[in-house]
Amino acid sequence: MKRPMPGIATGLLVVGLSTTAIANGSPGPDWAETYFRQGGNDAPACGACHAMAAAETSGQVGPDLDVLQPDRAKLRAALRDGVGVMPSFAQALSEAQIKAMADYVAEAVE
Amino acid sequence: MRDFVNVNRRRFLIGSAGATLVTTTGIPVSAQDAGGAGLPDYVSWKEAGAFIRHSRQTLETKRGEIGLSAFTPNDLVYVRNNLPSMTEEEVGDPEAWEVAIEGVADGGTITLAELRKHAPDTVACVLQCSGNGRAFFDHETSGSQWSVGAAANVQWTGVPVARLVDEMGGVAGNKYFMTATGGENIPDGIDPKTVMIERSVPIEAMESAMLAFEMNGEPIPLAHGGPVRMVIPGYYGVNNVKHVKRVSFDVVESEAGIQQTSYRVRAVGEGGAPDQPSMYEMAVKSWVTHPLKDSESGRIQIWGVAMGGTEHLDKVELSSDGGETWQEARFVGPDLGPYAWRPFVLSVDLGPGTHTVASRATTVSGETQPRDFQPNHRGYGHNGWDAHAVDVTVS
């Protein structure tokens, strides 16, 4: 197995890994905002039910997130398990994506 | 000299503006409670100050508010809507509201005006959210963190479903479920099965089920599912489908998400699935409502409510030493039936100090509240007496 070379080569390797990580879908806020507005993987868009100014959505079915102001823990739980008629997103989203969405929404409504 | 209790509301009510307070018995107070100001517009008729606001659609009645009255007045009843309440505009003329009855020999629709032509019946029921008591679980749970205030005792007036089904020729064929569908509009772009309110219950529930149109003697408020609501006495709130527009008799359960994977009881860490038990019949339960925090020393009254779930109560006992010793309390008022709760009272002499006051109800068949309630993932159905206890400090 090749060992990473010290110095510049190691730096390049580190950069390479970071780029690869993003390309492989360690999702960030851009991904989250897109999913919030569009949904996907057989699950509805968050914005279809939830109003949130940061995503420019106006859904009326569920609570207005700017008013509810859920924290990260509450968001992760809701995405993982659902709440009442809000479905679980555990089939549609990975753990990393759930975390990214929770981070995105929590910051957007602070 | 006559005994009396000096009731100072500020000392008894849990909930202080802007504070998140957890007592030693774990009763959380919503940080959104601003002294009751700001009821949402669609429930502005309710008593401001009586609620903890979890969200626009979830208002919890504060623990000390229900007092000793047999029925919870409509303006104190908690609010929990899965979908926003229908508006007057959406409902139109309430008398023209239609309920379709399907899966019977001679199915058809019946309007509220036509329902009224049938001899009405009344039933006293506890209305309780499946998640009432969720706050008492130790694990992280999704959903509103209700303590005891997602419950009310209500008198429903309406027409028994069994009577209507009889007039329509009876259930057609071998059916195992009675399904009710709510009339809320589902916006475009959302698969209706994801969010529609449609609940199936075992067909045996038809024997006590009612199409109700009055709540405590008044037309059912829109916020509570008027003009017509399916009432299943003794069943958790979600099964009492609001704004019911369709009742059917089926071989299988509804395919709606709220039936298939929501309201399912399973171990902590598991996802919801249709082969798990659904939140149907309620269990025996009780909780103290007064005093809640501190009191003047001497002889004081402990108040609370007790319910048998689906059967009559035998007794309710109180302990003021955290469950080491128990005394039987007195019920206040008549037994209103197996589905209603009963207020209770016990006068005790408490010396200075902090006392852990617990209540424990037992039904006529011997069902009693456990000390600790086994956790389930979504935090449903907590009836453990230890978690529901309150600390009372006597000065």
* Predicted structure pTM score: 0.88
Q: Are residues B101 and B232 in the same domain?
A: yes
Across the interface, do B142 and A49 touch by the CB < 8 Å criterion? no
Degrees to nearest 5, angle at CA B298 with B343 and B29: 55
Domain boundary among B226, B260, B294: B260
pLDDT per residue, tens digit, chain B (395 aa), is 333 233 333 333 333 322 223 332 323 334 344 434 479 999 999 998 999 999 999 999 999 998 888 999 999 999 999 999 999 999 999 999 999 999 999 999 999 999 999 999 999 999 999 999 999 999 999 999 999 999 999 999 999 999 999 999 999 999 999 999 999 999 888 899 999 999 999 999 999 999 999 999 999 999 999 999 999 999 999 999 999 999 999 999 999 999 999 999 999 999 999 999 999 999 999 999 998 777 777 788 999 999 999 999 999 999 999 999 999 999 999 999 999 999 999 999 998 889 999 999 999 999 999 999 999 999 999 999 999 999 998 88
Boundaries of domain holding B154: 88-260
Residue B305 falls inside a structural domain: yes
Q: Are residues B171 and B245 in the same domain?
A: yes
Residue B177 falls inside a structural domain: yes
Q: Are residues B235 and B112 in the same domain?
A: yes
Q: Are residues B209 and B306 in the same domain?
A: no
Q: Is beta strand B341-350 parallel, antiparallel or unpaired with respect to B298-307?
A: antiparallel
Question: Which of A73, A81, A85 lies at the smallest CB-CB distance from B195?
Answer: A85
Distance CA B28, CA B87 (A): 32
Question: Which of B140, B197, B272 lies at the smallest CB-CB distance from A85?
Answer: B197
Q: Are residues B221 and B304 in the same domain?
A: no
| A8 or B385, which is more confident | B385
Residue B114 falls inside a structural domain: yes
Residue B362 falls inside a structural domain: yes
Residue B119 falls inside a structural domain: yes
B184 → chain A, closest CA residue: A61
How many residue pairs bridge chain A and chain B with CB atoms within 8 Å of each other?
Answer: 73
CATH of the domain at B249: 3.90.420.10
Task: Please choose, from the candidates B60, B99, B26, B30, the residue with its C-alpha nearest in 3D space to the C-alpha of residue B248.
Answer: B99
pLDDT, residue A25, reads 55
Residue B185 CB contacts under 8 Å (≥ 6 apart), including other chains: B86, B90
From A38's Cα to the closest Cα of chain B, the distance in A is 10
B269 touches A: beta carbon within 8 Å: no
Residue B132 falls inside a structural domain: yes
Distance CA B250, CA B201 (A): 10
Does the pLDDT value for residue A3 go beyond 90?
A: no
Across the interface, do A44 and B194 touch by the CB < 8 Å criterion? yes
Q: Are residues B228 and B119 in the same domain?
A: yes
Q: Chain A partners of B84 at a C-beta cutoff of 8 Å? A: 60-61
Neighbours of B166 (CB within 10 A): 12
CATH of the domain at B374: 2.60.40.650
Across the interface, do B258 and A84 touch by the CB < 8 Å criterion? yes
Across the interface, do A73 and B140 touch by the CB < 8 Å criterion? yes
Render pLDDT for A24-78 as a digit per residue (tens, 0 to 9): 457 999 999 999 999 999 899 999 999 999 999 999 999 999 999 999 999 999 9
Domains of chain A plus CATH, in order, are 27-109 (1.10.760.10)
Q: Are residues B227 and B348 in the same domain?
A: no
| Chain B contacts in chain A segment 79-98 (CB below 8 A) | 80-88, 90
From B372's Cα to the closest Cα of chain A, the distance in A is 24
**A23 CB-contact burial (10 Å; exposed 0-12 / middle 13-18 / buried 19+):** exposed
Residue B193's identity, in one-letter code, is K
Distance CA B286, CA B313 (A): 11
Residue B123 falls inside a structural domain: yes
Question: In chain B, how many domains are there?
Answer: 2
